[in-house]
Amino acid sequence: MHGGISQKITTLESLRKTKKPDNIPDDGLLCDLMWADPEKGQRDNYEFNSSRGVGVTFNEKAVEDVCNKLDIDLISRAH
């Protein structure tokens, strides 16, 4: 994935069905996938990404939850 994860991810199929190419909105699934950033030590699973002004930051527990939900072992970021 390019950027990060989203609490709006429901299934791998939902990711496959996203419209490509598309304009990236200021919030929602595509925004999070493009702009979300990991944040070590963050208390809540997801918080507004104040450094970017869009998307979210996410913690280790959020990564674990998404991996479990999607039945995957690893998430690799492009940067």
pTM strictly above 0.95: no
Radius of gyration, CA atoms only, the chain: 12
Pairing of strands 56-58, 37-38: parallel
Q: CA dist 40 to 14, 35, 44, 48, 51, Å?
A: 27, 16, 11, 14, 15
Q: Indicate whether 79 pLDDT > 70.
A: no
**Residue-level pLDDT at 7:** 94
**44 Cβ contact list (under 8 Å, min separation 6):** 59
pLDDT in tens, 19-71: 889 999 999 999 999 999 999 999 999 999 999 999 999 999 999 999 999 99
Give the SS3 label for residue 38. strand
